[in-house]
Structure 1
Amino acid sequence: MIRPNSAARAVAQTHQFEALDWEDTSDTDPSLPQRVLVVDDSRMQRRLLSSSLRKWGYDVLEAASGADGLALCKEHDISLVLSDWVMPGMSGPEFCRAYRSMGRDDYGYFILLTSKGSSDEIAEGLNSGADDFLTKPVNSGELRARLRAGERVLQMQAALVDKNHIVNAALSRIETLYDALNHDLSEARHLQQSLVRETDIEFAEGRIALNLTPSGHVGGDLVGQFRINDHQIGLFSLDVSGHGVTSALMTARLAGYLSGLTPNQNMALDRMDDGSFKARDPAQTVSDLNDLLLRELETEHYFTIALSIVDLTTGRMRSVQAGHPHAVLQRRGYPPVLLGDGGMPVGLISNAPYESYETQLRPGDRLVLYSDGITEAEAADGQMLEEDGLNIILDGARDKDGPDALDHLLTALSAYTGSTEFDDDVSALVFDYTGPP
């Protein structure tokens, strides 16, 4: 027998859902979430909601309180929640806050069922983490529309998570590749530095100091020397256009053409019948390099070079300047002299004209070859150092030996630019001629 009060409550609860559509319309998209948690302390209201949800194709879990709902959420993957607002023990907003604090990997869409409608109450529900509201009595069409809206949000969130996984995986691969590339570039830097095997070379007639400082891991600058015979040496400074790996590879290729370790391949030398070597005219050497670059290397790069052949016995020096900064001759008691007349860079045009010039070195003279990374270094205001600034620095290091003079040059350049990292490759060669013993 049904008691009158119980019957009245049942009728009232039934009227709250009298607009629910009892027709079987289970056309839910199978790709959407199929599980819904219904939390309500009223068994009748849970049953009414669950019946409709099941007819629409959902798998429904029921809980009589917020605590029971949290326990189910820990056991099952639940992304859609319908919860009553007013419940004993734990209210709907309190349950929502606890649900949000569970640390889920994916997002959960939370709908509060309430008869409340004031702005303060709505603000309380939103602040608790609720996504949507349904006002009692619940309308069937509105319920389905809110569920579908929640499913669209979950779909977008799932797609975003998938894309984040893809992005994170790609970033992880990029990081691995970057580490490998960074390691390779560090090794390449060591290999390029090995092209300048000795940075301080002393012999009876003088001393040579060299420095090579790429702006990145590797660069396109190179300075070097090679022994021709017992009384002649070759000195050079070159600068390949551009920066980075391609410039460094071309620099390494050019180093082989001016190597003292393999004189048979050195384009600045001619082999004599007796097996010894003699120096070629520097202008002819550069002309042949120009033809080689345009004919065989097939690159858009070009380079500049200053090449000198020095007779250590007589001090006679024959040189060529091909688009490279002017060599500086420092003679005690005299202002510095810029040597050369410019010339064309190597690798731009066929049959470019190159001419050698001669300089007589005296004991005590200093020759400085360098790249434009020094003269084109900029201060904070954009002002370049230029030849005048370089001459001031070199004059301040005139009484220092070669290696100390290069250290002084780099220190002064860092002070001028305000940084120890230069925007362009920096290289220099200092040759102090003391004459025959």
Structure 2
Amino acid sequence: MQVDPVDSHDTLTGAIRRVLIVDDSRLQLRIMSSMLNRWGFEVLQAESGPEALQICAEKEPDLVLSDWMMPGMDGLELCRQFRALKREGYGYFILLTSKSEKNEVAQGLDAGADDFLTKPVNAHELRARINAGERVVSMERQLSEKNREVSEALAELQEIHEAIDKDLRQARTIQQSLVPERMLELATSRVSLLLQPCGHVGGDLVGMFKPGDDKLGLYSIDVSGHGITSAMVTARVAGYLSSNFPDQNVALAKKSDEVYEMREPALTGQMLNQRLAADPGVEEYLTMAYVAADLRSGEMRMVQAGHSHPLLLRANGEVEFLGEGGLPIGLIDEVTYDQHAFTMRSGDLLLLYSDGFTEAVMKNGKMLGEDGLVRIFKDSAAAGQGPDLLQDMFWRLTEGMLDSKSLGDDVSAALLEFDVLPPR
């Protein structure tokens, strides 16, 4: 192999600094080494493929210049095994050959060669090919560095995500604890609750409290927005309607020691509005349907503050949507509410629910709506009772949704089954 001389003595610096020359001719090794040394490269030499692989494993050259035709392991096999080595960065491989047929060049490319130089090697062409290889190696190393930075950033984000996810799971547990009882039998009636956030936590809240054996407070609340902020508001409101601490419950008035009576629902809505409006930094508002129930007489008093109209299913199958709307709570400072009265009879069912039901998008592309809600409520009432009835409603809802795996909004409900249990 002959190498044309090069006039320039300029040195090359950059991504390619260490070059391995592989040739079974010591003379050619000496000629090529002298040229590359003048250009500023660190030069390594090997007289055979196995020796070259040993050097590559120990010192990782940036560029390999290998003769194709060598006894034993030829340059093609050396290239294959070079590509199989584990190394930190990309190594550029140039085959020196007298072969110029297309199928032979294809063989070299399949083996992993990056470029070819025909013999005798022209020094100016060699330097140009090395410069081209240097650009490739430089871009690969820049890309590898960017990938490393991205990987580190992703790992850091993953740690942050796992920490946030852990906090959100704990927040979900705390929010679920706001509804400690999902079913309560009181006198001859039964109350059941359903709470299904669309994320880890949500802005829906359902609950109940019992100031006496035949008295019941039942509510359904939907805080504006979703996520952590809304969940924090629900936690605060749950304290205002606490079943465990009646002295903090705005729906109850202390009559004597350990005896509480229920305030009018309209007044309860007004007081809750004052509490929420007075909280500094709270921009969220909420809708609410709240019912003060006398389970002995069946007399019900209700306030509806911008919430979905409660659904009354009579024992004879008749359906009625209750209420006339009203302003949400916390939207303006001063507000008064109207009160709605109705009577429940034996076997009647009352459903308080969030708009996660009626606004769910079904497979036909339309929202469930009030008619759809009536349909699944009747079907579920015919199939089960209590918590099973609500779970069946939720199942029917998600089975009919366009995307059954993803709730677009929180879904919640409170169910009162009036006078359905035998006297104790």
Q: Same fold (TM over 0.5)?
A: yes
Distance 1:225 1:142 in 2: 86
| Secondary structure of the corresponding residue to residue 24 of structure 2 | coil
The 3-state SS of whatever aligns with 2:103 is helix
| Aligned-partner residue type, residue 56 of structure 1 | W
Q: CA deviation at 1:145?
A: 2.4
Decide whether the 8 Å contact of 1:20 with 1:138 is kept in 2: no
Q: How many residues align?
A: 420
Mean Cα displacement is larger for which, 250-259 or 280-289?
Answer: 280-289
Shift of 1:334: 5.3
**2:406 pairs with 1:424:** no
Q: Residue 252 of structure 2: which of 269, 291, 304 is its match?
A: 269
Q: What are the residue-to-residue correspondences of 1:21-60 with 2, within 5 Å? A: 21=7, 24-25=9-10, 27-29=11-13, 31-60=14-43
Where 2:194 maps in the other structure, the secondary structure is strand
CA distance in 1, matches of 2:176, 2:274: 27
- Structure 2 stretches of 5 or more lacking a match? none
Deviates more, 1:272-281 or 1:230-239: 272-281
Note the 1:348-363 alignment, pairs <5 A: 348-363=331-346
Q: Distance in 2 between matches of 1:197 and 1:356?
A: 28
Residues 327-373 of structure 1, C-alpha deviations (whole Å, 9 max, x = no match): 12222225111110011222333434421121123343322111111
Q: 1:330 aligns with which of 307, 313, 316?
A: 313
Which 5+ residue runs of structure 1 have no aligned equivalent? 1-12
C-alpha distance in structure 2 between counterparts of 1:366 and 1:119, whole Å: 83
Q: Aligned partners of 2:23, 2:233: CA distance in 1, in Å?
A: 76
Q: Decide whether the 8 Å contact of 2:192 with 2:387 is kept in 1.
A: yes
- 2:153 is matched with 170
**Whole-angstrom CA distance in 1 between matches of 2:164 and 2:157:** 10
Residues of 1 paired with 2:405 and 2:18: CA distance? 62
Aligned mates of 2:22, 2:168 — CA distance in 1: 61
Among all aligned residue pairs of Structure 1 and Structure 2, give the percentage whose two residues are the same amino acid. Answer: 48
Where 1:428 maps in the other structure, the secondary structure is strand
Q: 1:397 to 1:161 in 2, by over 3 A?
A: closer
Secondary structure of 2:279's counterpart equals: helix
- CA gap 1:121/1:356 in 2 versus in 1, 3 angstroms: same
Match among 394, 397, 400 for residue 377 of structure 2: 394
Give the residue type in structure 2 aligned to 1:427. Answer: S
The CA distance in 2 between the partners of 1:390 and 1:62, in whole Å, is 81
Inter-CA distance 150–296: structure 2 relative to 1 (3 Å threshold): same
1:19 touches 1:138 (CA, 8 Å); kept in 2? no
Tell me, yes or no, if structure 1 residue 301 matches structure 2 residue 287. no
Alignment match of 1:65 (pick from 29, 48, 53): 48
Q: 1:433 aligns with which of 412, 418, 422?
A: 418
Give the TM-score normalised by the residue count of structure 1.
Answer: 0.88
- Where does 1:255-294 land on structure 2 (aligned, <5 Å)? 255-272=238-255, 276-294=259-277
- Residue 237 of structure 1: how far off its partner (Å): 0.5
Do the aligned residues in 2 keep the contact of 1:282 with 1:318 (CA within 8 Å)? yes
1:76 and 1:140 map into 2 onto residues whose CA distance is 25
**What are the equivalent positions in structure 2 for 1:145-294 lying under 5 Å apart?**
145-272=128-255, 276-294=259-277
Query: SS at 1:234's partner residue?
Result: strand
Cα distance in structure 1, aligned partners of 2:107 and 2:216 = 88
User: Do the aligned partners of 2:187 and 2:214 also contact (CA within 8 Å) in 1?
Assistant: no
Deviation at 1:20, TM superposition (A): 2.5
Other-structure match for 1:20: 6
